[in-house]
Structure 1
């Protein structure tokens, strides 16, 4: 228990008498922490005092020139500005009793005042304070050793990281949160810490923003911020060149040195656990990649057995296959994001990383995981039609084609079903068929360029109207015989009989492939 004004003044052996009653003082004045006890009869002792000290005086400085009330008031005001916790007046040394003007001054300034009787030497007050401070320091040191032992034992559990953070929260009576390398909450203890009034809504956003700021700096750092009336401490975890996350904690009371020592030990344990988890994640990643190849090879039974032992069951058929890229410095954050989702939604999500590509196999009910993943990291992704595991290779090809199309717009998820409804020919415009199409149409393009004609435009409109000369003529604003003669010339240049279906389809595909994006 910390040494406070109330504890010091209530020691029965000191026989101190409080002259400024609790009700007449500001709230919490008697519960202020006492750092030390000092005695002085200087008219202005503040240059030699520190905040949190109790000052003892016999009042000789007040009897030199027959002081008025203003001298007492100025004296107390200086002590208050210096942050003195309380004032003790020793009686029967210079004068009997405590001056009423001094009592009034202390009441007006909200400074606790105690009367020290003649038979209680100042050194006895100082000694009592020193003994209680030493007792408190010993108790805190003992607590810190006990807390560190409990946390170390927790770290040995199978869920070592979670157990360590949970034990830290219990020992400090603070909430504790771990933000991952992407700045998202990975662990929080107690579980409902962010559901209360202090850290909800914008307050949580402030904590998360500060965690992300520390991560963005890319080096070991710490910060202290005040949110919702709580003083929060944030500390990065991991090596300078490879941060693994941020530990954040807060509570109603500020941490003392013993608490900081415990937190420091947890930072070391958590950093080590995260490094080990990262190395283990690499091994799991290789296993996931191999498991995907097993699935694509058709050995679902083997894949199901391994997955069940490692992460839980594979998603139930029918499944969706998704493809996206995870290149860049946030690779670790992305894979950790998916690891958490696999754990949270067992039996609905499986993923594997191959080079810089992530392949996800999802139950349709877990589609939101893909959307959240792309939204969080600003990714383009492609999604297949629902399929069985026996047809997973085809679904992977669908997802890959949809992924390529996704780059035509803002980061989002493009479904293969969307592009398949546009037809096969529409897909040609987004493949390497463009050069083939240009070569096919080159004779007509060359004639138009050399003679200023509109053969290509005429062919396109004519095909759009199913080879109807009258309808094409109305659109082009020319006579139908003009359309007919242009089509005959185009047939000659192209070397194709456009009356045949396959020739029309070939030219139409060439037009689509060369159309502006």
Structure 2
């Protein structure tokens, strides 16, 4: 480690003598460097943790020493018999009051000897840390050759840096921690909560979090848009060499996780094949394929959920560890198949990955194509307030609820344009008349006009629209347009 003031004072060839009490300052703190300067204020040219060597006594010792202390100077060495004999008593008293160690450098000891001792120890420490980093990186690289490469790498990293290490999976839960038992439930929960926004962002990112086990540095693993997890490393007191080792582990852990992508891709293809067999009516074949690898398929009655969005790949990774029912990717969609309990978390999944979708009514396996069509119809009604509407709700709202789409609105506004151009109030008059089942007396009272006036307004509408509103079909078409444009 770097030199300390205690070690510096102990060198007999230097002949240094501590002038302040041994209780003043931190004599065993590492020294960053040693520098000589007789400037009235040398702090702009010094860094915290350094030793200042002087020969010129300051004119006003108190503010001079105070500036040094505020700047983080570790100690002051006064060279005697250069400018004056002995060290000024005012400087000794000021250093004692301010808590700054002061030692005397005899005339026979050149400042460069003090500087060299500190520099040699700093260089030796840097070399030792670099050597350690190389050994640690080699040990971690060898660990990556073991059968459980990821677990071995994280365990070796924890051993080398002597700090806890954890891996938060793509599902946001702590999947591994080393050494075993180093994280209690509160610490694991804190890591999961801190990793969650990093995973949700879908981008490579880093962060920090404090836990009962100490502070942790967080780093995402995997490519943007397909994050594989978050590496959490105990960061208390890590120096640059340890950080270098951790950076190498981030790359190795990411590589180890990517190596599992081929197996994940094979499982995804198997899920897609099972789903397409189910839709094709081959339930027995689908069940026999799924059972050995994916487990048993859910039993009817079932509901189908269809989801789409830019983050479906990340959602599929999350479902691999968290899905209660069956799921598969089919093109640019994720389909989920399960009972009411199995699809209860679809809305939360959509919110987590910013997806949109729809949910079918309960169905049997032999009616899956119709259920998929229901889920897709409901998906077309999804919005920010209701990202996963249910087909049951859509059906309960009736046929006219289907008119609330951009396409229906565009057609309705085009067909009603002659009415609006002639009289902007005419659509409201017609809507009231139709709501009154075409009964002129009832509608006229609601509108506050004479029934003959209302008949004239309806006749104007027939002329503008070029259609006879005496038939049910014409009235129904007009009513649908009025509802869609509302």
| TM-score (norm: length of structure 1) | 0.65
Cα pair 2:203 2:227 within 8 Å, conserved: no
Q: For the residues of structure 2 that align with 1:10 and 1:306, how far apart are their CA atoms?
A: 77
Q: For the residues of structure 1 that align with 2:120 and 2:50, how far apart are their CA atoms?
A: 15
> Across the two proteins, how many residue pairs are aligned to each other?
471
Partner of 1:501: none
Q: For the residues of structure 2 that align with 1:71 and 1:434, how far apart are their CA atoms?
A: 85
Does the C-alpha gap of structure 1 residues 371 and 516 become closer, same or farther in structure 2, counting only changes over 3 Å? same
Cα pair 1:323 1:358 within 8 Å, conserved: yes
Q: For the residues of structure 2 that align with 1:422 and 1:388, how far apart are their CA atoms?
A: 24
Q: For the residues of structure 2 that align with 1:386 and 1:457, how far apart are their CA atoms?
A: 42
Does the C-alpha gap of structure 1 residues 150 and 77 become closer, same or farther in structure 2, counting only changes over 3 Å? same
Does the C-alpha gap of structure 1 residues 449 and 143 become closer, same or farther in structure 2, counting only changes over 3 Å? closer
Equivalent positions of 1:311-460 (< 5 A) are: 311-315=294-298, 317-326=300-309, 331=310, 333-343=311-321, 345-346=322-323, 348-367=324-343, 369-407=345-383, 410=385, 412-424=387-399, 426-427=401-402
Using the TM superposition, give the Cα deviation of residue 179 of structure 1 relative to its aligned residue in structure 2, in angstroms.
8.4
User: Given the alignment, which residue of 13, 17, 32 partners 2:29?
Assistant: 32
What do residues 449-494 of structure 1 show as CA deviations (whole Å, max 9, x unaligned)? 99xxx99977x778756788876676576669x98xx99xx9xx98
Cα pair 2:467 2:474 within 8 Å, conserved: no
Q: Secondary structure at the match of 2:252?
A: helix
Using the TM superposition, give the Cα deviation of residue 416 of structure 1 relative to its aligned residue in structure 2, in angstroms.
0.9
Partner of 2:250: 267
Partner of 1:101: 90
Q: For the residues of structure 2 that align with 1:210 and 1:102, how far apart are their CA atoms?
A: 57
User: Given the alignment, which residue of 470, 480, 483 partners 1:512?
Assistant: 480
Using the TM superposition, give the Cα deviation of residue 290 of structure 1 relative to its aligned residue in structure 2, in angstroms.
1.8
Q: For the residues of structure 2 that align with 1:366 and 1:129, how far apart are their CA atoms?
A: 67
User: Given the alignment, which residue of 279, 288, 293 partners 1:296?
Assistant: 279
RMSD: 5.9
Equivalent positions of 1:233-248 (< 5 A) are: 244=227
Equivalent positions of 1:266-285 (< 5 A) are: 266-278=249-261, 281-285=264-268
Q: Secondary structure at the match of 1:405?
A: coil
Does the C-alpha gap of structure 1 residues 41 and 478 become closer, same or farther in structure 2, counting only changes over 3 Å? closer
Using the TM superposition, give the Cα deviation of residue 382 of structure 1 relative to its aligned residue in structure 2, in angstroms.
0.8
Cα pair 1:324 1:379 within 8 Å, conserved: yes
Using the TM superposition, give the Cα deviation of residue 396 of structure 1 relative to its aligned residue in structure 2, in angstroms.
1.4
Q: For the residues of structure 2 that align with 1:186 and 1:337, how far apart are their CA atoms?
A: 18
Query: Unpaired segments of 5 or more residues in structure 2?
Result: none
Q: For the residues of structure 2 that align with 1:153 and 1:478, how far apart are their CA atoms?
A: 94
| TM-score (norm: length of structure 2) | 0.68
- Establish whether residue 151 from structure 1 lines up as the match of residue 154 from structure 2: no
Partner of 1:256: 239
Does the C-alpha gap of structure 1 residues 414 and 101 become closer, same or farther in structure 2, counting only changes over 3 Å? same
Q: For the residues of structure 2 that align with 1:130 and 1:446, how far apart are their CA atoms?
A: 91
Q: For the residues of structure 2 that align with 1:20 and 1:464, how far apart are their CA atoms?
A: 99
Cα pair 1:341 1:369 within 8 Å, conserved: no
Cα pair 1:436 1:510 within 8 Å, conserved: no
Cα pair 1:317 1:363 within 8 Å, conserved: yes
Using the TM superposition, give the Cα deviation of residue 102 of structure 1 relative to its aligned residue in structure 2, in angstroms.
3.0
Query: Unpaired segments of 5 or more residues in structure 1?
Result: 216-221, 499-503
What do residues 160-217 of structure 1 show as CA deviations (whole Å, max 9, x unaligned)? 44664565455435566778999x788785796995699789x949x957995975xx
Q: For the residues of structure 1 that align with 2:104 and 2:450, how far apart are their CA atoms?
A: 114
Using the TM superposition, give the Cα deviation of residue 401 of structure 1 relative to its aligned residue in structure 2, in angstroms.
1.0
Cα pair 1:437 1:511 within 8 Å, conserved: no
Q: Secondary structure at the match of 1:515?
A: helix
Q: For the residues of structure 2 that align with 1:125 and 1:159, how far apart are their CA atoms?
A: 51
Using the TM superposition, give the Cα deviation of residue 403 of structure 1 relative to its aligned residue in structure 2, in angstroms.
0.7
Q: For the residues of structure 2 that align with 1:97 and 1:368, how far apart are their CA atoms?
A: 84
Cα pair 2:19 2:104 within 8 Å, conserved: yes
Using the TM superposition, give the Cα deviation of residue 415 of structure 1 relative to its aligned residue in structure 2, in angstroms.
0.8
